[in-house]
Chains A and B, each alone.
Chain A
Amino acid sequence: MTEAELLGAARRIDMRRKMGMIVAALGGVIGAICVLQLIPGDPGGPADRLEISAFAAISLTCIAAGLALILGGRLPAEAKTPRLAMLRAEAQQLPRQTAFLLMPLSLAFMLVGVVGAAVHVMHGEPMRRVEMFSTGAFVFFLAAFGFILAGGGIIGRWARSVLDDELTRTLRARALQLGYAILLPGVAIVFVVGLFRRDLAVELAPIVAALGVAAPAVRLFMLERAATGDDDEA
């Protein structure tokens, strides 16, 4: 097999594993919802048993299909050279970094649901199933984010040390600068608006937060793409 063919095969397997993870995660989410339906006490009333069984079957099918996709693809032994590993890791770097920057935004939006659940509990009301789900999802995401921040994750230590080099750090710093440039005046504006129109400030806050996270993610994407050229053969 030529290098290009090996790289193509490796990318197909990577894509297959990624799809497997998405399908299995979807199955996990559906399964978690089914389990939550079995917990009594929701003011919305009990869910239909047949409906729960159907969704549980869908959940199990998704998990099985996802695992089959993840475990099914075998990387050719020749594709495990450091050079190909570097090229593969580089191809995964950009979407990974963008996703990493967008994670806090997801957490910020999830926090709204968690605060709602906390308010219900504080007032002595029972927690709704949907609130249990949003709280669980928040905790799960927070743990995953912490795990990645602590140096864990699906990307290997070797690839991490090579890819997280001075160029990457510089580009990330430039992207984050844009985030600060949006967030600092944005928060100040929300604060001043809040002094006069509290309702407007509440509406503005998520927009500022979303811009403050999404803009650096887009900037990083553009900077990384500009830095990526073809591997110049000797």
Chain B
Amino acid sequence: MNGFELKNRLKEARAELGLTQTELALRVGVSRKTINTVENGIFTPSTTLALALAAVFERPVEALFYLAPGVV
């Protein structure tokens, strides 16, 4: 989307639960690389994956992912 960048609080949420990237990956059924790239903003997850991550952390998707003004 023009002018916006997808950011996330995945790393903080993961640290709160004391999970490693691998453990989180196993819980949502994806590879650790996927978690790593989502956390670093390299890869934009699908709605399904975003909802699955939100379900693991028991919080709404908006609490994990948000739009921030980015490079236009």
Contact = CB atoms under 8 A, between A and B. Distances in A.
Interface of A: 82-83, 86-87, 90, 93, 161-163, 165-168, 170, 224, 226-229, 231-234
B9 interface: no
Interface in B10-46: 11, 14-15, 17-23, 25-26, 29-34, 36-37, 39-40, 42-43, 45-46
Contact of B42 (A166, A224, A227): A227
A121 B39 CA distance: 59
8 contacts: A86-B31, A162-B26, A162-B29, A165-B31, A166-B45, A226-B42, A231-B20, A234-B18
Interface of B: 11, 14-15, 17-23, 25-26, 29-34, 36-37, 39-40, 42-43, 45-46, 49
Nearest to A83: B22
A229 B18 contact: no
B14 to A, nearest CB: 6
A162 B25 contact: yes
B25 A232 contact: no
A168 B31 contact: yes
Given A86-B31, A232-B20, A234-B15, A166 B46 contact: yes
